[in-house]
Chain A
Amino acid sequence: MSISAAFFAIIRRDLLLAFRRRAEAANPLFFFVLVVTLFPLAVGAQPHLLQSMAPGVIWVSALLAALLSLDAMFRSDFDDGSLEQLLLSPYPLTVLVLGKIIAHWLVTGLPLLLVAPLLADFLGLPAQAMGTLWLTLIIATPLLSLIGAVGVALTVGLRRGGMILSLLVLPLYVPVLIFASGAVDRAAGGLAADAQLDILLAMLLAALVLAPLPVSAALKMSVN
Protein backbone atom coordinates (compact mmCIF):
# COMPACT_ATOMS: atom_id res chain seq x y z
CA MET A 1 0.00 0.00 0.00
CA SER A 2 1.19 3.51 -0.71
CA ILE A 3 0.80 6.89 0.87
CA SER A 4 -1.79 8.00 -1.65
CA ALA A 5 -3.76 4.80 -1.01
CA ALA A 6 -3.74 5.61 2.71
CA PHE A 7 -4.79 9.22 2.01
CA PHE A 8 -7.74 8.17 -0.15
CA ALA A 9 -8.65 5.33 2.23
CA ILE A 10 -9.14 7.91 4.97
CA ILE A 11 -11.34 10.11 2.82
CA ARG A 12 -13.34 7.10 1.69
CA ARG A 13 -13.77 5.76 5.21
CA ASP A 14 -14.90 9.11 6.60
CA LEU A 15 -17.37 9.63 3.77
CA LEU A 16 -18.73 6.14 4.36
CA LEU A 17 -19.03 6.90 8.07
CA ALA A 18 -20.84 10.14 7.34
CA PHE A 19 -23.21 8.23 5.10
CA ARG A 20 -23.93 5.67 7.82
CA ARG A 21 -24.54 8.49 10.29
CA ARG A 22 -26.35 10.66 7.77
CA ALA A 23 -28.91 12.01 10.24
CA GLU A 24 -26.04 13.42 12.28
CA ALA A 25 -24.13 14.63 9.24
CA ALA A 26 -27.05 16.76 8.06
CA ASN A 27 -27.16 18.75 11.32
CA PRO A 28 -24.71 21.50 10.33
CA LEU A 29 -26.70 22.11 7.16
CA PHE A 30 -29.99 22.46 9.07
CA PHE A 31 -28.25 24.67 11.57
CA PHE A 32 -27.00 26.91 8.76
CA VAL A 33 -30.50 27.29 7.34
CA LEU A 34 -31.99 27.91 10.79
CA VAL A 35 -29.53 30.64 11.74
CA VAL A 36 -30.07 32.45 8.46
CA THR A 37 -33.86 32.41 8.95
CA LEU A 38 -33.47 33.80 12.47
CA PHE A 39 -32.13 37.11 11.17
CA PRO A 40 -35.26 38.36 9.36
CA LEU A 41 -37.30 37.30 12.40
CA ALA A 42 -35.04 39.26 14.73
CA VAL A 43 -34.35 42.45 12.76
CA GLY A 44 -37.56 42.66 10.75
CA ALA A 45 -38.27 41.89 7.14
CA GLN A 46 -37.45 45.25 5.54
CA PRO A 47 -36.03 44.29 2.13
CA HIS A 48 -33.34 47.03 2.15
CA LEU A 49 -32.03 46.08 5.57
CA LEU A 50 -31.93 42.38 4.73
CA GLN A 51 -30.30 43.02 1.40
CA SER A 52 -27.50 45.03 2.93
CA MET A 53 -27.04 42.45 5.67
CA ALA A 54 -27.19 39.39 3.40
CA PRO A 55 -23.43 38.83 2.85
CA GLY A 56 -22.71 39.14 6.55
CA VAL A 57 -25.66 37.00 7.63
CA ILE A 58 -24.75 34.18 5.26
CA TRP A 59 -21.11 34.23 6.26
CA VAL A 60 -21.73 34.43 10.00
CA SER A 61 -24.14 31.52 9.68
CA ALA A 62 -21.68 29.49 7.61
CA LEU A 63 -19.02 30.16 10.20
CA LEU A 64 -21.26 29.06 13.09
CA ALA A 65 -22.31 25.94 11.18
CA ALA A 66 -18.64 25.09 10.60
CA LEU A 67 -17.91 25.66 14.27
CA LEU A 68 -20.76 23.35 15.26
CA SER A 69 -19.49 20.59 12.98
CA LEU A 70 -15.85 20.83 14.04
CA ASP A 71 -16.10 18.76 17.18
CA ALA A 72 -17.07 15.69 15.15
CA MET A 73 -13.84 15.82 13.16
CA PHE A 74 -11.71 13.84 15.60
CA ARG A 75 -14.13 13.07 18.44
CA SER A 76 -15.18 9.53 17.49
CA ASP A 77 -11.65 8.66 16.36
CA PHE A 78 -10.41 9.76 19.75
CA ASP A 79 -13.07 7.82 21.64
CA ASP A 80 -12.77 4.50 19.82
CA GLY A 81 -8.99 4.37 19.55
CA SER A 82 -8.84 4.92 15.77
CA LEU A 83 -6.83 8.06 16.35
CA GLU A 84 -4.11 6.04 18.07
CA GLN A 85 -4.01 3.69 15.10
CA LEU A 86 -3.72 6.68 12.76
CA LEU A 87 -0.75 7.96 14.74
CA LEU A 88 0.96 4.58 14.52
CA SER A 89 0.72 4.44 10.76
CA PRO A 90 4.16 4.59 9.13
CA TYR A 91 2.87 7.28 6.77
CA PRO A 92 3.35 10.97 7.62
CA LEU A 93 0.59 12.06 9.97
CA THR A 94 0.30 15.43 8.19
CA VAL A 95 -0.89 13.71 5.01
CA LEU A 96 -3.35 11.48 6.84
CA VAL A 97 -4.67 14.48 8.76
CA LEU A 98 -5.15 16.41 5.53
CA GLY A 99 -7.29 13.50 4.33
CA LYS A 100 -9.45 13.80 7.42
CA ILE A 101 -9.84 17.55 6.97
CA ILE A 102 -10.80 17.18 3.31
CA ALA A 103 -13.37 14.53 4.21
CA HIS A 104 -14.76 16.85 6.87
CA TRP A 105 -15.11 19.63 4.33
CA LEU A 106 -16.81 17.35 1.80
CA VAL A 107 -19.37 16.40 4.44
CA THR A 108 -19.97 19.73 6.15
CA GLY A 109 -18.71 22.51 3.87
CA LEU A 110 -19.79 21.37 0.44
CA PRO A 111 -23.53 21.07 1.26
CA LEU A 112 -23.54 24.75 2.27
CA LEU A 113 -22.67 25.60 -1.31
CA LEU A 114 -25.94 24.10 -2.47
CA VAL A 115 -28.29 25.93 -0.12
CA ALA A 116 -26.43 29.24 0.22
CA PRO A 117 -27.64 30.72 -3.11
CA LEU A 118 -31.21 29.87 -2.18
CA LEU A 119 -30.89 31.56 1.21
CA ALA A 120 -29.10 34.52 -0.37
CA ASP A 121 -32.07 34.91 -2.67
CA PHE A 122 -34.45 34.84 0.31
CA LEU A 123 -32.48 37.70 1.84
CA GLY A 124 -32.60 39.63 -1.43
CA LEU A 125 -28.93 39.51 -2.32
CA PRO A 126 -28.63 40.96 -5.86
CA ALA A 127 -28.18 38.34 -8.56
CA GLN A 128 -24.92 39.90 -9.66
CA ALA A 129 -23.33 38.95 -6.31
CA MET A 130 -24.39 35.30 -6.49
CA GLY A 131 -21.31 34.18 -8.42
CA THR A 132 -19.01 35.87 -5.94
CA LEU A 133 -20.90 34.32 -3.02
CA TRP A 134 -20.33 30.91 -4.54
CA LEU A 135 -16.66 31.61 -5.13
CA THR A 136 -16.13 32.79 -1.56
CA LEU A 137 -17.87 29.68 -0.25
CA ILE A 138 -15.79 27.38 -2.46
CA ILE A 139 -12.54 29.02 -1.41
CA ALA A 140 -13.25 29.85 2.20
CA THR A 141 -15.30 26.96 3.63
CA PRO A 142 -12.27 24.63 3.22
CA LEU A 143 -10.33 27.30 5.10
CA LEU A 144 -12.82 27.01 7.95
CA SER A 145 -12.21 23.26 8.11
CA LEU A 146 -8.43 23.64 7.92
CA ILE A 147 -8.17 26.35 10.58
CA GLY A 148 -10.82 24.73 12.75
CA ALA A 149 -8.91 21.44 12.70
CA VAL A 150 -6.15 23.07 14.74
CA GLY A 151 -8.64 24.02 17.44
CA VAL A 152 -10.31 20.59 17.55
CA ALA A 153 -7.00 18.78 17.62
CA LEU A 154 -6.02 20.85 20.64
CA THR A 155 -9.27 20.26 22.52
CA VAL A 156 -10.29 16.73 21.50
CA GLY A 157 -8.82 15.26 24.68
CA LEU A 158 -10.91 17.55 26.89
CA ARG A 159 -14.23 16.45 28.24
CA ARG A 160 -15.71 19.90 27.87
CA GLY A 161 -13.80 21.27 24.93
CA GLY A 162 -16.78 22.95 23.26
CA MET A 163 -16.62 26.41 24.78
CA ILE A 164 -12.85 26.57 24.61
CA LEU A 165 -12.97 25.43 21.02
CA SER A 166 -15.00 28.48 20.01
CA LEU A 167 -12.69 30.77 21.95
CA LEU A 168 -9.68 29.27 20.15
CA VAL A 169 -11.14 29.13 16.68
CA LEU A 170 -13.22 32.30 16.31
CA PRO A 171 -10.29 34.76 16.44
CA LEU A 172 -8.59 32.65 13.78
CA TYR A 173 -11.75 32.85 11.66
CA VAL A 174 -11.94 36.66 11.77
CA PRO A 175 -9.85 37.33 8.62
CA VAL A 176 -11.81 34.73 6.66
CA LEU A 177 -15.07 36.32 7.74
CA ILE A 178 -13.89 39.82 6.85
CA PHE A 179 -12.57 39.02 3.39
CA ALA A 180 -15.35 36.61 2.42
CA SER A 181 -18.28 38.78 3.46
CA GLY A 182 -16.41 41.85 2.22
CA ALA A 183 -16.04 40.29 -1.22
CA VAL A 184 -19.74 39.50 -1.44
CA ASP A 185 -20.57 42.97 -0.19
CA ARG A 186 -18.47 44.59 -2.90
CA ALA A 187 -19.99 42.36 -5.57
CA ALA A 188 -23.48 43.30 -4.36
CA GLY A 189 -22.53 46.96 -4.76
CA GLY A 190 -21.37 46.32 -8.31
CA LEU A 191 -17.65 46.55 -7.48
CA ALA A 192 -14.87 44.12 -8.35
CA ALA A 193 -13.98 41.69 -5.56
CA ASP A 194 -10.93 40.13 -7.20
CA ALA A 195 -8.50 41.37 -4.56
CA GLN A 196 -10.48 39.80 -1.72
CA LEU A 197 -10.89 36.54 -3.60
CA ASP A 198 -7.16 36.48 -4.34
CA ILE A 199 -6.36 37.00 -0.69
CA LEU A 200 -8.74 34.21 0.32
CA LEU A 201 -7.15 31.94 -2.27
CA ALA A 202 -3.68 32.74 -0.95
CA MET A 203 -4.89 32.01 2.58
CA LEU A 204 -6.35 28.70 1.42
CA LEU A 205 -3.10 27.62 -0.24
CA ALA A 206 -1.08 28.63 2.81
CA ALA A 207 -3.48 26.78 5.13
CA LEU A 208 -3.41 23.63 2.96
CA VAL A 209 0.35 23.49 3.36
CA LEU A 210 0.71 24.75 6.92
CA ALA A 211 -2.38 23.69 8.90
CA PRO A 212 -1.62 19.93 8.93
CA LEU A 213 1.58 20.61 10.89
CA PRO A 214 0.02 22.11 14.04
CA VAL A 215 -2.91 19.69 13.72
CA SER A 216 -0.54 16.70 13.78
CA ALA A 217 1.44 18.09 16.68
CA ALA A 218 -1.74 18.85 18.60
CA LEU A 219 -3.17 15.37 18.02
CA LYS A 220 0.03 13.83 19.35
CA MET A 221 -0.35 16.00 22.42
CA SER A 222 -4.02 15.05 22.78
CA VAL A 223 -3.54 11.25 22.82
CA ASN A 224 -1.02 11.70 25.61
Chain B
Amino acid sequence: MSVIPAVVNRFFHQTASPPYFYALAERLAPWLTGVFLLLLAAGLYGGLYLAPSDYQQGESYRIIYIHVPAAWMSLFVYVLMAVMAGIALVWRMKLAEVMLIASAPIGAGFTFIALVTGSLWGKPMWGAWWVWDARLTFELILLFQYLGIVSLYGAIEDRRAAARAVSILALVGVVNVPVIHYSVEWWSTLHQGPTITKLDKPSIHVSMLIPLLLMAVAFKFYYLIAVLQNARLELLKREATSQWVKNLLEKTA
Protein backbone atom coordinates (compact mmCIF):
# COMPACT_ATOMS: atom_id res chain seq x y z
CA MET B 1 0.00 0.00 0.00
CA SER B 2 2.82 2.36 0.83
CA VAL B 3 4.11 2.22 -2.74
CA ILE B 4 1.38 4.44 -4.14
CA PRO B 5 0.69 7.98 -2.96
CA ALA B 6 -2.17 8.48 -0.55
CA VAL B 7 -4.21 10.67 -2.94
CA VAL B 8 -4.17 8.06 -5.68
CA ASN B 9 -4.96 5.44 -3.11
CA ARG B 10 -8.00 7.36 -1.88
CA PHE B 11 -9.27 7.92 -5.42
CA PHE B 12 -9.03 4.23 -6.19
CA HIS B 13 -10.70 3.28 -2.98
CA GLN B 14 -13.62 5.56 -3.66
CA THR B 15 -14.12 4.41 -7.25
CA ALA B 16 -13.52 0.84 -6.23
CA SER B 17 -16.11 0.85 -3.49
CA PRO B 18 -18.80 -1.52 -4.79
CA PRO B 19 -21.90 0.68 -4.32
CA TYR B 20 -20.19 3.67 -5.92
CA PHE B 21 -18.97 1.60 -8.84
CA TYR B 22 -22.35 -0.04 -9.27
CA ALA B 23 -24.12 3.31 -9.51
CA LEU B 24 -21.44 4.75 -11.81
CA ALA B 25 -21.69 1.80 -14.19
CA GLU B 26 -25.44 2.16 -14.27
CA ARG B 27 -25.23 5.88 -15.11
CA LEU B 28 -22.63 5.32 -17.83
CA ALA B 29 -24.47 2.53 -19.65
CA PRO B 30 -26.85 4.62 -21.86
CA TRP B 31 -24.05 7.00 -22.92
CA LEU B 32 -21.72 4.18 -23.81
CA THR B 33 -24.49 2.45 -25.77
CA GLY B 34 -25.18 5.64 -27.70
CA VAL B 35 -21.55 6.16 -28.67
CA PHE B 36 -21.22 2.49 -29.58
CA LEU B 37 -24.24 2.57 -31.90
CA LEU B 38 -23.01 5.72 -33.64
CA LEU B 39 -19.53 4.30 -34.19
CA LEU B 40 -20.94 0.98 -35.34
CA ALA B 41 -23.26 2.63 -37.85
CA ALA B 42 -20.47 4.84 -39.20
CA GLY B 43 -18.00 1.97 -39.36
CA LEU B 44 -20.39 -0.39 -41.12
CA TYR B 45 -21.55 2.29 -43.57
CA GLY B 46 -17.96 3.18 -44.38
CA GLY B 47 -16.79 -0.39 -44.56
CA LEU B 48 -19.64 -2.06 -46.40
CA TYR B 49 -20.85 0.81 -48.63
CA LEU B 50 -18.26 3.56 -49.08
CA ALA B 51 -15.05 1.56 -49.20
CA PRO B 52 -14.13 0.22 -52.68
CA SER B 53 -13.89 -3.50 -53.28
CA ASP B 54 -10.48 -5.12 -53.20
CA TYR B 55 -8.85 -5.74 -56.58
CA GLN B 56 -7.71 -9.23 -55.52
CA GLN B 57 -10.35 -10.44 -53.10
CA GLY B 58 -13.43 -8.65 -54.41
CA GLU B 59 -16.15 -8.12 -51.83
CA SER B 60 -15.20 -10.95 -49.51
CA TYR B 61 -12.43 -8.92 -47.94
CA ARG B 62 -15.09 -6.83 -46.17
CA ILE B 63 -15.22 -9.39 -43.40
CA ILE B 64 -12.07 -7.75 -42.05
CA TYR B 65 -14.31 -5.06 -40.55
CA ILE B 66 -15.46 -7.68 -38.09
CA HIS B 67 -12.51 -10.03 -38.07
CA VAL B 68 -9.66 -7.62 -37.45
CA PRO B 69 -11.28 -5.64 -34.61
CA ALA B 70 -12.35 -8.91 -32.96
CA ALA B 71 -8.82 -10.30 -33.22
CA TRP B 72 -7.40 -7.08 -31.79
CA MET B 73 -9.89 -7.19 -28.94
CA SER B 74 -9.09 -10.83 -28.17
CA LEU B 75 -5.54 -9.79 -27.30
CA PHE B 76 -6.45 -6.44 -25.78
CA VAL B 77 -8.90 -8.01 -23.33
CA TYR B 78 -6.40 -10.67 -22.31
CA VAL B 79 -3.72 -8.11 -21.54
CA LEU B 80 -6.26 -6.01 -19.65
CA MET B 81 -7.22 -9.09 -17.63
CA ALA B 82 -3.59 -9.66 -16.73
CA VAL B 83 -3.33 -6.06 -15.52
CA MET B 84 -6.44 -6.56 -13.40
CA ALA B 85 -4.95 -9.82 -12.13
CA GLY B 86 -1.78 -8.03 -11.03
CA ILE B 87 -3.79 -5.39 -9.20
CA ALA B 88 -5.99 -8.03 -7.60
CA LEU B 89 -3.02 -10.06 -6.37
CA VAL B 90 -0.90 -7.19 -5.11
CA TRP B 91 -3.52 -4.90 -3.58
CA ARG B 92 -6.29 -7.45 -3.10
CA MET B 93 -8.69 -5.02 -4.71
CA LYS B 94 -12.10 -6.57 -4.99
CA LEU B 95 -13.11 -4.53 -8.02
CA ALA B 96 -10.10 -5.70 -10.00
CA GLU B 97 -11.12 -9.30 -9.33
CA VAL B 98 -14.66 -8.54 -10.45
CA MET B 99 -13.49 -6.82 -13.64
CA LEU B 100 -11.17 -9.73 -14.42
CA ILE B 101 -13.94 -12.27 -14.04
CA ALA B 102 -16.37 -10.11 -15.98
CA SER B 103 -13.91 -9.75 -18.87
CA ALA B 104 -13.14 -13.43 -19.42
CA PRO B 105 -16.32 -14.55 -21.23
CA ILE B 106 -16.34 -11.37 -23.35
CA GLY B 107 -12.73 -11.92 -24.37
CA ALA B 108 -13.57 -15.52 -25.19
CA GLY B 109 -16.45 -14.23 -27.31
CA PHE B 110 -14.21 -11.88 -29.29
CA THR B 111 -11.73 -14.72 -29.84
CA PHE B 112 -14.50 -16.98 -31.04
CA ILE B 113 -15.75 -14.32 -33.47
CA ALA B 114 -12.21 -13.80 -34.78
CA LEU B 115 -11.95 -17.56 -35.36
CA VAL B 116 -15.31 -17.92 -37.11
CA THR B 117 -14.86 -14.87 -39.33
CA GLY B 118 -11.31 -15.95 -40.12
CA SER B 119 -12.52 -19.33 -41.22
CA LEU B 120 -15.39 -17.78 -43.27
CA TRP B 121 -12.86 -15.57 -45.00
CA GLY B 122 -10.62 -18.57 -45.54
CA LYS B 123 -13.18 -20.56 -47.51
CA PRO B 124 -13.07 -18.40 -50.70
CA MET B 125 -9.37 -17.60 -50.17
CA TRP B 126 -7.95 -21.04 -49.44
CA GLY B 127 -10.83 -23.25 -50.55
CA ALA B 128 -11.16 -24.75 -47.07
CA TRP B 129 -12.93 -23.73 -43.89
CA TRP B 130 -9.88 -24.36 -41.82
CA VAL B 131 -6.22 -24.30 -42.68
CA TRP B 132 -3.54 -24.32 -40.03
CA ASP B 133 -2.70 -20.71 -40.60
CA ALA B 134 -0.47 -19.16 -37.92
CA ARG B 135 -2.91 -16.44 -36.90
CA LEU B 136 -5.95 -18.69 -36.73
CA THR B 137 -4.01 -21.31 -34.77
CA PHE B 138 -2.86 -18.61 -32.38
CA GLU B 139 -6.46 -17.46 -31.87
CA LEU B 140 -7.52 -21.05 -31.26
CA ILE B 141 -4.95 -21.52 -28.49
CA LEU B 142 -5.88 -18.14 -27.06
CA LEU B 143 -9.49 -19.34 -26.96
CA PHE B 144 -8.36 -22.38 -24.94
CA GLN B 145 -6.63 -20.06 -22.50
CA TYR B 146 -9.81 -18.03 -22.11
CA LEU B 147 -11.87 -21.19 -21.60
CA GLY B 148 -9.39 -22.37 -18.97
CA ILE B 149 -9.94 -19.17 -17.03
CA VAL B 150 -13.71 -19.35 -17.32
CA SER B 151 -13.89 -22.99 -16.24
CA LEU B 152 -11.38 -22.62 -13.41
CA TYR B 153 -13.46 -19.79 -11.99
CA GLY B 154 -16.57 -21.92 -12.27
CA ALA B 155 -14.95 -24.89 -10.56
CA ILE B 156 -13.81 -23.22 -7.35
CA GLU B 157 -16.68 -22.59 -4.99
CA ASP B 158 -15.24 -19.90 -2.75
CA ARG B 159 -15.41 -16.74 -4.83
CA ARG B 160 -12.38 -15.04 -3.35
CA ALA B 161 -10.23 -18.14 -3.74
CA ALA B 162 -11.53 -18.56 -7.28
CA ALA B 163 -10.62 -14.96 -8.09
CA ARG B 164 -7.09 -15.48 -6.77
CA ALA B 165 -6.70 -18.67 -8.79
CA VAL B 166 -7.91 -16.98 -11.94
CA SER B 167 -5.58 -14.02 -11.35
CA ILE B 168 -2.57 -16.32 -11.10
CA LEU B 169 -3.65 -18.16 -14.24
CA ALA B 170 -4.19 -14.92 -16.18
CA LEU B 171 -0.70 -13.71 -15.29
CA VAL B 172 0.91 -16.98 -16.30
CA GLY B 173 -1.19 -16.94 -19.47
CA VAL B 174 -0.12 -13.46 -20.48
CA VAL B 175 3.52 -14.51 -20.29
CA ASN B 176 2.63 -17.45 -22.49
CA VAL B 177 0.83 -15.37 -25.14
CA PRO B 178 3.91 -13.89 -26.89
CA VAL B 179 5.67 -17.25 -26.65
CA ILE B 180 2.74 -18.96 -28.34
CA HIS B 181 2.58 -16.22 -30.95
CA TYR B 182 6.25 -16.57 -31.79
CA SER B 183 6.27 -20.36 -31.73
CA VAL B 184 3.20 -20.63 -33.94
CA GLU B 185 4.69 -18.18 -36.46
CA TRP B 186 7.82 -20.28 -36.62
CA TRP B 187 5.84 -23.50 -36.83
CA SER B 188 3.71 -22.32 -39.74
CA THR B 189 6.73 -21.24 -41.79
CA LEU B 190 8.34 -24.62 -41.08
CA HIS B 191 5.42 -26.74 -42.16
CA GLN B 192 3.65 -24.70 -44.81
CA GLY B 193 6.01 -22.32 -46.45
CA PRO B 194 4.95 -18.70 -46.90
CA THR B 195 1.27 -18.15 -47.69
CA ILE B 196 -0.79 -14.98 -47.84
CA THR B 197 -2.00 -14.93 -44.30
CA LYS B 198 -2.09 -11.31 -43.33
CA LEU B 199 -5.60 -9.96 -43.36
CA ASP B 200 -4.54 -6.46 -42.43
CA LYS B 201 -2.14 -5.53 -45.18
CA PRO B 202 0.35 -2.82 -44.45
CA SER B 203 -0.61 -0.96 -47.64
CA ILE B 204 -4.28 -0.54 -46.88
CA HIS B 205 -6.07 2.32 -48.63
CA VAL B 206 -7.22 5.15 -46.43
CA SER B 207 -10.89 4.69 -47.42
CA MET B 208 -10.63 1.14 -46.07
CA LEU B 209 -8.58 2.11 -43.05
CA ILE B 210 -10.93 4.71 -41.59
CA PRO B 211 -13.94 2.38 -41.28
CA LEU B 212 -11.64 -0.27 -39.85
CA LEU B 213 -10.47 2.08 -37.12
CA LEU B 214 -14.06 3.18 -36.46
CA MET B 215 -15.06 -0.44 -36.03
CA ALA B 216 -12.11 -1.04 -33.72
CA VAL B 217 -13.20 1.81 -31.46
CA ALA B 218 -16.82 0.61 -31.63
CA PHE B 219 -15.69 -2.83 -30.44
CA LYS B 220 -13.89 -1.19 -27.51
CA PHE B 221 -17.11 0.53 -26.53
CA TYR B 222 -19.03 -2.69 -26.86
CA TYR B 223 -16.52 -4.32 -24.54
CA LEU B 224 -16.99 -1.51 -22.02
CA ILE B 225 -20.77 -1.89 -22.06
CA ALA B 226 -20.61 -5.66 -21.72
CA VAL B 227 -17.90 -5.72 -19.05
CA LEU B 228 -19.67 -3.14 -16.89
CA GLN B 229 -22.90 -5.09 -17.16
CA ASN B 230 -21.15 -8.34 -16.22
CA ALA B 231 -19.27 -6.65 -13.40
CA ARG B 232 -22.47 -5.25 -11.92
CA LEU B 233 -24.04 -8.69 -11.93
CA GLU B 234 -20.94 -10.23 -10.36
CA LEU B 235 -20.89 -7.53 -7.68
CA LEU B 236 -24.51 -8.20 -6.80
CA LYS B 237 -23.80 -11.92 -6.45
CA ARG B 238 -20.76 -11.37 -4.31
CA GLU B 239 -22.18 -8.68 -2.10
CA ALA B 240 -25.64 -10.22 -1.82
CA THR B 241 -25.61 -10.01 1.97
CA SER B 242 -24.23 -6.50 2.27
CA GLN B 243 -26.28 -3.50 3.27
CA TRP B 244 -26.05 -1.58 -0.01
CA VAL B 245 -27.46 -4.50 -2.01
CA LYS B 246 -30.31 -4.85 0.48
CA ASN B 247 -31.05 -1.14 0.15
CA LEU B 248 -30.98 -1.45 -3.61
CA LEU B 249 -33.41 -4.37 -3.54
CA GLU B 250 -35.80 -2.48 -1.28
CA LYS B 251 -35.73 0.48 -3.63
CA THR B 252 -36.55 -1.60 -6.72
CA ALA B 253 -39.16 -3.77 -4.99
Interface residues of A (CB under 8 A from B): 150, 154-155, 157-158, 160-161, 164, 167-168, 170-172, 174-175, 178-179, 182, 185-186, 203, 210, 214, 217-218, 221-222, 224
Bound-complex Cα distance A218 to B141 (A): 23
Contact B141 A168 (CB under 8 A): no
Question: Which one, B142, B144, B147, B168, contacts A217 given CB within 8 A?
Answer: B168
Contact A174 B141 (CB under 8 A): yes
Contact B89 A164 (CB under 8 A): no
Say whether chain A's binding surface is mostly helix, strand, loop, or mixed. Answer: helix
How many A-B residue pairs lie within 8 Å, measured between CB atoms?
76
The 4 closest A-B pairs by CB, nearest first: A175-B183, A178-B183, A171-B144, A168-B148
Say whether chain B's binding surface is mostly helix, strand, loop, or mixed. Answer: helix
Chain A residue contacts of B164, Cβ below 8 A: 217, 221
B156 lies within 8 A of chain A by Cβ: yes
With both chains docked as a complex, state the minimum distance between the C-beta of B171 and any C-beta of chain A, in angstroms.
7
B120 lies within 8 A of chain A by Cβ: no
Question: Which one, A154, A179, A185, A218, contacts B183 given CB within 8 A?
Answer: A179
The interface centre, meaning the residue of A157, A161, A172, A218 with most chain B CB atoms within 10 A of its CB, is A172
Chain B residue contacts of A150, Cβ below 8 A: 168-169, 172
Contact B161 A221 (CB under 8 A): yes
Contact B176 A172 (CB under 8 A): yes
Question: Which one, B151, B168, B179, contacts A214 given CB within 8 A?
Answer: B168
Chain A residue contacts of B184, Cβ below 8 A: 174, 178
B45 lies within 8 A of chain A by Cβ: no
Chain B residue contacts of A214, Cβ below 8 A: 168, 171-172
B12 lies within 8 A of chain A by Cβ: no
Bound-complex Cα distance A66 to B83 (A): 31
B126 lies within 8 A of chain A by Cβ: no
Bound-complex Cα distance A221 to B144 (A): 23
Contact A154 B168 (CB under 8 A): yes
With both chains docked as a complex, state the minimum distance between the C-beta of A184 and any C-beta of chain B, in angstroms.
12
Contacts A154-B168, A217-B89 given: A167-B179 contact, CB under 8 Å? no
Chain B residue contacts of A172, Cβ below 8 A: 172-173, 176
Contact A157 B176 (CB under 8 A): no
